Chain A
Amino acid sequence: MSENVGIVIVSHSSDVARGTADMVRQMVGPEVPLAWCGGNTEGGLGTSVAAVMQAIRDVWSKRGVAVLVDLGGAETNSEMAIEMLPAEMHGSVVVCNAPIVEGAVMAATEASGGSSLDAVRRAAEELYPR
Chain B
Amino acid sequence: MSSRELTGPPLALAPFARVMGAVCETIDAHADELTELDRVIGDADHGLNMKRGFAAIEARMDALSAMPLSAAITESGKTLVMTVGGASGPLFGTLLMRFGTELGSGPLAQATAGVSPAPLPTRSQLARALQVALDAVKARGKAVRGQKTMIDVLEPVAQLLASSEPVTPAQISACASAAAQATVPMKAERGRASFLGERSVGHLDPGARSTELIIKAIVEVIEGE
Q: Decide: A73 near B82, CB < 8 A? Known: A42-B52, A46-B45, A46-B49.
A: no
B residues in contact with A75, CB < 8 Å: 87
**Pick the contact of A50 from B82, B88, B190 — CB < 8 Å?**
B82
B residues in contact with A41, CB < 8 Å: 52, 82-83, 85
Q: Does B89 contact A (CB under 8 A)?
A: yes
Would you call B191 and A72 a contact (CB within 8 A)?
yes
A72–B83 Cα distance when bound, in Å, is 16
B interface residues, how many (CB within 8 angstroms): 23
Q: Does A80 contact B (CB under 8 A)?
A: yes
Would you call B91 and A76 a contact (CB within 8 A)?
yes
A40-60 Cβ-contact flags toward B at 8 Å (1 or 0): 111011111110000000000
A residues in contact with B191, CB < 8 Å: 72
**Pick the contact of B93 from A42, A45, A80 — CB < 8 Å?**
A80
**Min C-beta distance of B47 to chain A, whole Å:** 13
A residues in contact with B145, CB < 8 Å: none
A residues in contact with B60, CB < 8 Å: none
A26–B91 Cα distance when bound, in Å, is 36
A34–B192 Cα distance when bound, in Å, is 28
Would you call B87 and A76 a contact (CB within 8 A)?
yes
Would you call A77 and B90 a contact (CB within 8 A)?
yes
Q: Which among B81, B88, B94 has the highest number of chain A CB atoms within 10 Å?
A: B81
Would you call A73 and B85 a contact (CB within 8 A)?
yes
Would you call B89 and A49 a contact (CB within 8 A)?
yes
Chain A residue nearest to B49 in the complex (CB): A46
Would you call B82 and A49 a contact (CB within 8 A)?
yes
A residues in contact with B192, CB < 8 Å: 71-72
A76–B91 Cα distance when bound, in Å, is 8
B58-108 contacts to A (CB < 8 Å): 81-91, 93-94
A49–B89 Cα distance when bound, in Å, is 9
A41–B89 Cα distance when bound, in Å, is 12
Closest 9 CB pairs of A and B: A40-B85, A46-B85, A73-B87, A73-B86, A80-B90, A76-B90, A76-B87, A72-B87, A46-B86
A-B contact pairs, 15 of them (CB 8 A): A40-B52, A40-B86, A47-B85, A49-B81, A49-B90, A72-B87, A72-B190, A72-B192, A76-B87, A76-B91, A76-B141, A77-B89, A80-B81, A80-B89, A80-B90
